[in-house]
A and B are shown apart, each in its own frame.
Chain A
């Protein structure tokens, strides 16, 4: 394993131009190991970036290093240490998962014996048991996704690139897949780059976020900075909400409403005491008093007034 402070990905002026569109526009990116979420609208350049990093597409200009290997000149060496799970269906139908994954492990450079051994373990890790000896034509979407994940994992890569890994899964399958991905990072120690158009998934699984729009880098920042606690307190009470709001206003606290919640901008800790006192005075039930966190989705809603401080 490389030292933790070494960047897993470093791109300089990375550009991909097609005759009619620019898919990536001079992208400068430096990423450290972790679970990195890649977000952006369809056609923003997420898949293009992943494919260039894998050497599936040549860049028009610029350069990139992955795990310290130059993608242009060291592709085959690099790709021994990288796992890729494409978005679309990519499995043959007339072989079993075991045969297929073992074959793919060898194409990644593993000797035959090791490939077989690791195939058995990997399929167990992704949760494929007896059915792994059956031809894949009868597999459900969930099982296919597991095999796709397994073939990206079998050669013990240092970095995995997962393109929309929850595509086509039902809520249960989605949950399971996200749990697996988190575990691959936390327990197996692999760096992961994960593209998704579902922000809730990114929020749950990733610790770093890269946003691309129209081939340009919009932001690259740690998730903690994006979902930091705000100064807004959410209060929910049982009882006369209007009187509660009036009484707070009378003591100099501005209140806004949001559904069942009352929102208050917290200035200091003394405010918490005031709120407690008012609740007691009016004999209300305090259901909730919490400092709200920013949601990732809020970042992606255009805010006409507030300039996003993270947006650079």
Chain B
């Protein structure tokens, strides 16, 4: 504190009180949501944070672009990439995106001990957790919905009559939105529940990748090895299996007879129900973590 206080007093116009509005809790939550959403895409952060986010977003678009290319060349109704299969293709990308972003959202304020400054302001601990959650959900939605919409509009444009295409396929739109919201909610809840447990970024990144990709791989092999009933349970414990099962159900798609989903022979609603329950359990873990953190 060595810089001259004399220099400061030249500009010193005296203290002015603030008489304007105070917008309270909702404004605080909204501010934190917007701030976190910017963090999701690396806005206001380093070049690499932006590069990673937008790079992954670009890669998720590749299957859609390929499909569009084929649709333009061969206008017959060739679905290389069907909407209900899209998430299955970009699953690893969703996991990687979450593993990069969630530790940033949930770990940074713990790492720098900034949480007491938030919790001593106009919001509650739960508000803080929800603001982070919805920011990540919004981010994940861009990864899940944007490629689907691109593909839908592109397919429509490639046909002779876009109106006919829309009339025949409009049901895909609510299905896309519903499955994207469920998937984004699940991935965000799992990612933040894990990332909030530790300020250490490396641990949570590995933990999140394991929760999605490793669990998915393990569940797949255990399913092959196990009795049918054990296999069914296993499928319901793997986030990505739940997401795929739910998506197939939402789209009302026919199950490929050889697939694990056909062999598990569960009602489609079971996946949806299990997926929502799984998400809620993760959200509870997230809220509990922030309620329990010493500040």
* Complex CA distance for A89 and B112, rounded to whole angstroms: 7
Quick check: B23 and A86 within 8 Å, CB to CB?
Answer: no
Query: In the complex, A57→B120 CA distance in Å?
Result: 10
- Is A90 a contact partner of B113 (Cβ separation < 8 A)? yes
**CA A86 to CA B121, docked complex, whole Å:** 13
Binding site for A on B (CB under 8 A): 1-3, 5, 7-8, 11-12, 14-18, 20-25, 27-28, 31-32, 35, 44-46, 108-109, 112-114, 116-124, 295
Query: With A107-B32, A111-B20 known to touch, is A90 a contact of B117 (CB < 8 Å)?
Result: yes
Q: A56-B119, A124-B8 known; A107 and B1 CB under 8 Å?
A: no
Q: For the complex, what is the distance from the CA of A54 to the CA of B119, rounded to whole Å?
A: 8
- Chain A interface size range: 35 or more
Say whether A173 contacts B22, CB under 8 Å: no
Cα distance, A106 to B123, chains bound together (Å): 11
Main secondary structure of the interface of B (DSSP, over half): loop
Asked if A238 is at the interface of the complex by the 8 Å CB criterion, the answer is no
Q: CB distance A94 to B45 under 8 Å? A: yes
Cross-chain contact B108 with A92 (CB below 8 angstroms): yes
Selected contact of B24 from candidates A80, A146, A169, CB within 8 Å: A80
Enumerate A97-148 residues with CB–CB distance to B below 8 Å.
Answer: 99, 103-104, 106-111, 114, 118, 121, 124-125, 127, 129, 142-143, 145-146
User: Which of A28-36, A71-79, A261-269, A301-309 lies at the binding interface?
Assistant: A71-79
Q: Which residues of B contact A90 (CB under 8 A)?
A: 112-114, 116-117
Report the separation of the CA atoms of residues A93 and B114 in the bound assembly, to the nearest whole angstrom: 11
Chain B minimum-CB-distance residue to A95? B44
For this complex, 18 residue pairs linking A to B, each with C-beta atoms less than 8 Å apart, are: A56-B116, A75-B124, A76-B25, A79-B120, A84-B120, A90-B113, A91-B114, A108-B22, A108-B121, A108-B122, A110-B22, A111-B20, A156-B17, A169-B1, A177-B1, A187-B15, A188-B17, A189-B17
For the complex with contacts A76-B25, A92-B108, A106-B31, 11 further pairs of A-B residues with Cβ separation under 8 Å are A77-B122, A80-B122, A103-B35, A107-B32, A110-B18, A110-B20, A111-B20, A114-B18, A129-B7, A129-B8, A143-B1
B23 contacts A109, C-beta separation under 8 Å:
yes
A51 interface residue (CB < 8 Å to B): yes
Of listed B1, B7, B11, residue having the most chain A CB within 10 A: B1
CB neighbours of A145 from chain B (8 A): 1
Q: Which residue of A lies closest to B23 (CB)?
A: A109
Q: Establish whether residues A80 and B22, one from each chain, have CB atoms under 8 Å apart when the complex forms.
A: yes
When the two chains form their complex, are residues A54 and B120 in contact, meaning their CB atoms are under 8 A apart? Answer: yes
- Contact, CB under 8 Å: A103 / B31: yes
In chain B, what residue has the closest Cβ to A163? B116
The answer to whether the Cβ of A82 comes within 8 Å of any Cβ in the partner chain is: yes
Enumerate the 7 nearest inter-chain pairs by beta-carbon distance, A residue then B residue, closest first: A156-B18, A173-B1, A142-B1, A84-B120, A106-B31, A109-B22, A76-B25
